[in-house]
Amino acid sequence: MSKIAHSSVWMVAVLGVCLSVTASVSTQTGGPVVGPPRGALVVVGGAMRDPAILERFVRLAGGPDSPIVVIPTAGGAETYDQSYPGLQAFRDAGATDLVVLHTTDRDVADSEAFVSPLRRARGVWFPGGRQWRLADAYLDTEVHEALRDVLRRGGVVGGSSAGATILGSYLARGDSATNTIMMGDHVVGFGFLRDTAIDQHLLRRNRQFDLLSVIEAHPELLGIGLDENTAIVVRGDEFEVIGRSYVAIYDHAHQLDSGGRFYFLGAGDRFDLRERRAFRLERRPLDRVVERPWR
């Protein structure tokens, strides 16, 4: 994996306590251990009122003419078709080749006719709703394997709210009775981010403490909490924060000297998923920080 150089970094604020450090991301050997070996993920905390997020997704898919599949199954409607109103946001972001896929029948999800649009897709998106519906319909089916193939081809898989949580390995708020139970009757996600539990609507819904119970019960997991209109763009074992608010990191194995149990990253900050190390731009009022841009 290539090395990303950072001239100056800050450890991010923990419950209002700022810790700053200067470091660089170490060169890593072998393939990714957390993120996808190829392709990218765009993982969003909900609301989707920042158009820059879908614009980045469309660019990662290859541009406006690239085929994109939208799977709104988490929303819970009986049927979705090409009139699905959620497509408008993708058109606003420039996308022109859009297909809606939906089923709750696992036999259909295993059929070649249903999976066929995914064979040519360069991007796949999961809107919000309830994440257990996605697990029930698609986990360990041909759809799931086709999503892996999208990434292997260098494409992008993304989602917002429930569509974000399903991309991790542990399915937080996966209970089919209520979304207030953190460890419920569905606990397995798609696993595109290995050893992670993803939560969403973090600050907007006052959920910043909720992932603590998951991390205490499963200390091997990395917790990632995303506020609304905020996303992480994952490539390999690194991610960048984009959007308007904050991402919280929960890591039982790396407790902070301050005693804080989670800390925040903002737009432009980056995170090494393998080493579980956060890197933040040092922002001086009169200086312009220049970094190698991500796509």
- Note whether residue 71 is domain-resident: yes
Report pLDDT for 283. 55
- Note whether residue 35 is domain-resident: no
- Calculate mean pLDDT across residues 71-92: 98
Report pLDDT for 255. 75
The yes-or-no verdict on residue 163 having pLDDT over 90 is yes
Number of domains in the chain: 1
3-state secondary structure of 217: helix
Residues in the chain: 295
The yes-or-no verdict on residue 257 having pLDDT over 80 is no
Tell which wins on pLDDT, 150 or 11: 150
Q: Do residues 71 and 126 lie in contact, with contact meaning Cβ atoms separated by under 8 Å?
A: yes
- Note whether residue 180 is domain-resident: yes
Report pLDDT for 216. 96
Report pLDDT for 201. 98
- Note whether residue 24 is domain-resident: no
- Note whether residue 222 is domain-resident: yes
Query: DSSP alpha helices (H): ranges in 43-111?
Result: 51-60, 87-92, 106-109
The yes-or-no verdict on residue 1 having pLDDT over 50 is no
- Note whether residue 15 is domain-resident: no
- Note whether residue 245 is domain-resident: yes
- Calculate mean pLDDT across residues 199-215: 98
pTM of the model as a whole: 0.87
Say how far apart CA 277 and CA 253 lie, in whole Å.
11
Say how far apart CA 12 and CA 16 lie, in whole Å.
9
- Show the domain range for 111: 40-279
- Note whether residue 75 is domain-resident: yes
- Domain of 188, CATH number, reads 3.40.50.880
